[in-house]
Structure 1
Amino acid sequence: MSHVGTAEAPQGRGVASVADPDAAIEAVDLVKKFGTSLALAGVSFSVPRGSVFGVIGPNGAGKTTTMRALLDIIRVTSGRATVLGTDSRNAGPELRRRIGYLPGELILEGRTSGRRLLKHYVDISGPVPRGKIDELAERFGLDLDRPVRKLSKGNKQKLGIVQAFMHQPELLVLDEPTSGLDPLMQQEFLGLVSEAREAGQTVFLSSHVISEIQQAADVVAILRGGKIVTIASVEELRQSAIRHLRMMVTGVSPAELRALLAPLDGVGNLECTRNSAGTTEATATLGGEIRPFIQAISTLALTDLVLEEPDLEESVLRLYTVPNAAGPNGDVS
């Protein structure tokens, strides 16, 4: 929640560096070990103020550990994190009031109502504009007068979203924020994130839902096994994504069409066959720049060409699973 606890004294060494005044978050070589398990293996990134930064990865990738380290809920083994210009290890009440936090494991119980619980968090997070809580609750269809313990998982998640956004913090740190929400409420949440960006707030959110990150984020970091595979804009990921194509051509044999297409960069899974009508049909995947492909087929007698929109999800999943897969900026895990 918005009240971020303080951890024990640091056990690891610090990393001396000058903070970037234009960055809401700076993480430098974050390493976190739990016993013999390495949860973070040198994670570094910077989040510009007023942007939406998405972190995506499979379960166990290190998303939640990264967020908890940024908020000083846990202490890293080594490395440094700066949040809103302050070393995260020096986080006090003043800094915490500038942050809205929604944990991934949201536990809300008790006989108190949602309204009374939010009043408690107002006392912690600082002033909330008059009517803001009711406005947010109405947007999400949330009954604030019901006892918290009787709320469904989705309604508890809505309550968590309201408490994170209600005091209009400079920085929002949101771990799997749409967990338990139906598609309509997911879209309402994405609208809230867009409004926060427009208001100059910074949003740092994690998700395993690729389409959600695609809609919300300016920049995406892909985590796998405690390491960053790549950091790229959504547009850069889209340009590197995989397209599926199907084409039908007259006047060339399958072997001739294969000889033309196979050498092109980005063409994969190429299959060329002759159908019953005597037309050569080709299916393939296409990654990277599309211009060389268009130039190569410009002289062919096409009877049909289907080139699907880039499949961002397929591209990201490939980065999850392929060892040493390079991202759009050439980074590798």
Structure 2
Amino acid sequence: MGEVVRERPWHGPGPGAEAGEYSQFGQENGNDLMSAVVRTSGLGKSYGRFRGISDVTMEIERGEVFGFLGPNGAGKTTTIRLLLDLLRPTAGQATIFGLDVHRDGVAVRSRIGYLPGELPDVGRERARNLLEFFAQVHGGVPHQRITDLAERVGLDLDRKVRGLSKGNRQKVGLVQAFMYAPELLILDEPTSGLDPLVQQTFLAMVREAREAGQTVFMSSHVLDEVQQVADRVGIIKDGRLVTVEPVAQLLHHTPRRVHIRFDGPVPTAAFTGLAGVRELSVEGSVVRCVVDGPLDELVRTAARFTVVDLLSTEPDLEEMFLRHYSEESDHAADPAT
């Protein structure tokens, strides 16, 4: 049978002299400024015959937004729980701020704002009382800070948490994570249950956190939101890290779907064999295709004719994500590999 692990309850960052003031990050340890905020090496978690994660190695730099992508069950939450020492690894190690996440767990967590994938049952407390309790445990948060964040996300602080909808409970979690202005925000599926307007508010909060020097580690299977705010993206599949790349680089490699309409019929031969062009379809005056990489050669060829309209869909992480998964599946299915 697999290992049974009981998670310790999370009550927000605990008190600690090592936590920085609201607008100062990494001042207490000069060496921190020169190192990765999060570093894992060969990190693994086995649940017996059930899959966990294996050999996850990555670094997250100070002041960046790192998107951690994967479908449900890929290993995102397991990785986060290992970083927070809510689970213990069966292989490898993890450090945050240069500190071992287990040995120095209290000091590490005092500098982190954490939003779990599912806010635990917190009894019959009103949202205001619960957040004020978390603030006291942390060592104090200005009351106005809580009020301002609640107003921003549309949270009624006088309602009892137990009676809130999934979306409103998520707002409580967001206020709890952001109100400390921590050095590192670890957010597990942060927009789950939020309406589109609040999702955009959340993304604005992430951008502001980065501008203030905070680091954000954000897991999600909603690819569009990560694309909007992340500097780099890690893709995890079946417990293994498939790739870690800057968003701009990933998007550069992502296929674009191109639709060109001319003022009259064009020859198919003119567009056949162009570099990066595939799924070519020429129907009279309309050319449709998928282009991997730069559009230069296709555009130069199209310029030989009179172009009436040209539409190129912006690359997004959805197609990139599917491409990585299909390539991995094809690789695994090929006996020669």
Q: Give the TM-score range, shorter chain.
A: 0.7 to 0.9
- Quick check: 1:263 aligned with 2:270? no
Task: Give, as a single letter, the amino acid of the residue that structure 1 aligns with 2:279.
Answer: N
Match for residue 62 of structure 2? 49
Deviations 1:189-244 (A, max 9, x none): 11111111111111101111011101121111111111122112221122112211
Letter in 2 for 1:310: P
- Equivalent AA in structure 1 for residue 111 of structure 2: R
Q: Which runs of 5+ in 1 are unaligned?
A: 6-17, 327-333
Matches of 1:325 and 1:95 in 2, distance apart?
41
Say yes or no: does 1:81 pair with 2:94: yes
Matched residue, 2:201:
188
> Helix, strand or coil: the match of 2:191?
coil
Kindly state the Cα deviation for residue 101 of structure 1 after the two structures are TM-superposed: 0.7
Whether contact under 8 Å (1:2, 1:99) holds in the other structure is no
Is 2:224–2:316's contact at 8 Å kept on the other side of the alignment? Answer: no
Indicate yes or no: 2:307 matched with 1:296.
Answer: no
Q: Are 1:223 and 2:205 matched, yes or no?
A: no
- Counterpart for residue 335 of structure 2: none
Please tell me the residue identity of whatever aligns with 2:184: L
Structure 1 position 144 matched with structure 2 position 144: no
1:284 is paired with a residue whose SS is strand
Q: Whole-Å Cα distance in 2 between the matches of residues 20 and 168 of structure 1?
A: 18
Q: Distance in 1 between matches of 2:294 and 2:148?
A: 46
Which residue type is aligned with residue 87 of structure 1? D
TM-score normalised according to structure 1 size: 0.85
Deviation of 1:66 (Å): 0.8
Cα displacement (A) at 1:88: 0.9
Residue of structure 1 aligned with 2:190, choices 177, 193, 198: 177
Q: CA RMSD in A?
A: 2.3
Segments of 5+ residues of structure 2 without an aligned counterpart are: 1-9, 15-30, 332-337
How far did residue 2 of structure 1 move?
A: 5.0
- d(CA) in 1 for partners of 2:110, 2:59: 21
Q: Does 1:283 align with 2:293?
A: no
Q: Residues 101, 150 of structure 1: CA spacing in aligned structure 2 closer, same or farther, 3 A cutoff?
A: same
- AA paired with 1:141? G
TM-score, length-normalised on structure 2? 0.84
**Correspondence 1:214 to 2:224:** no
The 3 A distance-change label for structure 1 pair 119 and 303 is: closer
User: How many residues get paired?
Assistant: 305
Residue pair 2:45, 2:91 contacting (<8 A) in 1 also? yes
Q: Report the 3-state secondary structure (helix = DSSP H, G, I; strand = E; otherwise coil) of the residue aligned with 1:181.
A: coil
Which residue is equivalent to 1:322?
327
1:235-264 deviation line (CA, Å, top 9, x unaligned): 11221122111234547533x23xxx3323
Corresponding letter in the other structure for 2:290: T
Determine what percentage of the aligned residue pairs are the same residue.
Answer: 46
Distance (whole Å) between structure 2 residues aligned to residue 295 and residue 29 of structure 1: 47
1:173, CA displacement in angstroms? 0.4
Partner AA of 1:33 in structure 2: S
Question: Aligned to 1:240, which of 253, 274, 283?
Answer: 253
Q: 2:85 aligns with which of 55, 66, 72?
A: 72
Structure 2: how far apart are the matches of 1:177 and 1:251?
A: 50
State yes or no: 1:115 paired with 2:125.
no
**Alpha-carbon deviations, 1:90-141, whole Å to 9, x = none?**
1333321110111112223421111111122123323313411111111112
Q: Deviations over 1:61-99 (max 9, x none)?
A: 111111111111111111111111101121333321110
Does the alignment pair 1:253 with 2:267? yes
Alignment match of 2:53 (pick from 23, 31, 40): 40
